[in-house]
Amino acid sequence: MIKKHIPNLFTLLNLLSGMIAVLMAVTDKLLPAAFFVFLGIFFDFFDGFFARKFKVEGELGKQLDSLADMVTSGVVPGIVMFQMMLFATKGKWFMELSSETGSWQEYQEIFYYFIPFTGLLITLAAAYRLANFNIDERQTGSFIGLPTPAMSIFVLSFPLILFYSDNLFFIELLQNIYVLIGITILGSYLMNAEIPLFALKFKNYSWKGNEVKYVFLLATMGLMISLKTVAIPLIIILYIVLSIIDNWAKKKDLTNS
C-alpha cells in the first residue's frame, strides 16, 4: 500500500535536508545550513500530517522521525552554535590581541579550543529529549519541554539576523560569547524541562479552547511583518511565555472550580 510509505518518504526528506545542512554548517556556510534546516522542519511537519491523515502512524515512523530530527534539529544547531561561538571568540582576538602577541597562545587555548565546544551541549540535550519523547506517553496532544525543531529554528535564525538584519542591538548581542553560552545552557535546559507547551494541533477551529493558539498565530504574523528575521527567535520566546501563561490560567481555573 503506497499510502503507508508517504509519511516515511517525508521523514527521509527531512533527514536528507539535515545531512546537507550538516555539510553546509561544518564548512561555515550558515545561511544555506539554515535554509536546509527550515526545509527539513517543513518535511517533518508533513510526515506527521500525512501519517495522521492516512491513519498509518506506527512504531517505525516514530523511531525514524526521531532519528531524522536528531540530525536536522540536534546535530545542525549544535554545529551552528559552535560556529557562532567561534566567530565571537575570533572577534575578541582581533580586537584585544592585535598588539599583544605575547598572550596569543594562552588566549587561543582558552577560547578557541574550549569555549566554542560548549555549543554542542545543544546536540546532547536534543538527543536526550528525543529519546525521552519516544517513551513519554504524556506528549501526545502537547509537549513537555521545548521541541527540538523549535530550538533548531531559534538557533538557525542567528545567521539570518547577522546577514540580513540592520538591527545593531541584536547583531552585537549575537556576537557576544557570554550571551551565546547563556542561550546554549538555557536552551538545553528548556528542551528537557518539565514545562508543558501547547502544540499547534486543532481538533476544531472555534475560538473557545484555542485562544492561546490563535493569539500566538496572530502575534507571529505581526512580528514577522514588523521585525522580519529578528522576529524568529522572539516568536520562539513568545511560544514559551504563552505556554506558561496558559498553564497558569488552567491551574487557576481548576483551583476555582
Higher local confidence (pLDDT), 76 or 138: 76
Torsion of CA 189, 229, 68, 7, to 10 degrees: 120
Give the pLDDT confidence of 85-117 residue by residue, as tens digits: 988 877 543 334 444 444 445 555 555 668 889
Domain limits at 62? 2-256
Rounded to an integer, what distance in angstroms lies between the CA atom of residue 148 and that of residue 145?
9
Our count of domains for the chain comes to: 1
pLDDT (mean) for 197-204: 80
> What is the pLDDT at residue 251?
81
Secondary structure, 3-state, 165-213: CCCHHHHHHCCCHHHHHHHHHHHHHHHHCCCEEECCCCCCCCCCCCHHH
Asked whether the beta carbons of 132 and 194 are under 8 A apart, the reply is no
> What's the whole-number average pLDDT of the chain?
86
> What is the pLDDT at residue 60?
77
Give the pLDDT confidence of 27-75 residue by residue, as tens digits: 989 999 999 999 999 999 887 776 677 666 667 778 898 999 999 999 9
Give pTM, 2 decimals. Answer: 0.86
Asked whether the beta carbons of 122 and 84 are under 8 A apart, the reply is no
